[in-house]
Structures are given as structure tokens and as C-alpha cells.
Amino acid sequence: MKDFDYQKLDEIIHSRIRLAVIAVLVTVDEAEFTFLREKVNTTDGNLSTHLKKLEDTGYVAVSKSFENRKPVTRYMLTQKGRKAFEIYVERLENLIRKK
């Protein structure tokens, strides 16, 4: 395992909550904030902080609208985010295969 460099893991994705968010988003076209909160099982504030970081990195796109006079926020994984996740998974798989 001497060839593995842990610094090659994407620190944005490596956070447990951000990893969970991306893992959910990779399976859907888009997801509402409340859906993500339920799937990730975290608080509104904690989820908001992690989603903002993913948005700032360009891994997640956000759209806001109103439905029945209520605000609805939806998130979707960007191509950049999808590619970063693929690389992250590939690097983890390489780590697991090396003994």
C-alpha cells in the first residue's frame, strides 16, 4: 500500500455528510432539501452548510422556486460533481485492492 497517497482523496467529498449527499444525488435527477435531510439524517443547519460547500465547489447545482406559496429548494449533481465522485470511488477501490 506504499503507493497510495491519501492526499489524493477529494477532501470536499470525503466528509461523511457531503459523501452521503453525493451518494443520494448520484441516484436521482434532482432532490428537494427535505428529501436530502431525511436520507442523510441530519439537521437543517448542518445540511445547509455542507450543501453550500458542495455548491461553492461546483459539485452541486441549486434551484429555488415556490410551490403553493412555499419555497422549494432542489439540488442536483453537476457533471463536475459526478466526475469528482467517480474519481473518488475509483481511488477508494484502488486503496481496497492494494494490500
Q: Where exactly are the structural domains of the chain?
A: 7-97
pLDDT computed for residue 99 by the predictor: 52
Angstrom distance (rounded) from CA 77 to CA 93: 21
Find where cell 465547489 sits: 57
pLDDT computed for residue 94 by the predictor: 82
CATH topology assigned to domain 7-97: Arc Repressor Mutant, subunit A (1.10.10)
What is the reported pTM? 0.86
Angstrom distance (rounded) from CA 88 to CA 73: 27
| pLDDT tens, the chain, 99 aa long | 456 666 778 899 989 999 999 999 999 999 999 999 999 999 999 999 999 999 999 999 999 999 999 999 999 999 999 999 999 998 888 877 765
Q: What is the dihedral of CA 17, 20, 26, 31, to 10 degrees?
A: -70
Task: State the CB neighbour count (10 A cutoff) for residue 72.
Answer: 13
- Contacts of residue 84, Cβ cutoff 8 Å, sequence gap at least 6: 10, 12, 13, 59
pLDDT computed for residue 8 by the predictor: 77
Would you say 66 and 76 are in contact if contact means Cβ atoms under 8 Å apart? no
DSSP state of 36: H
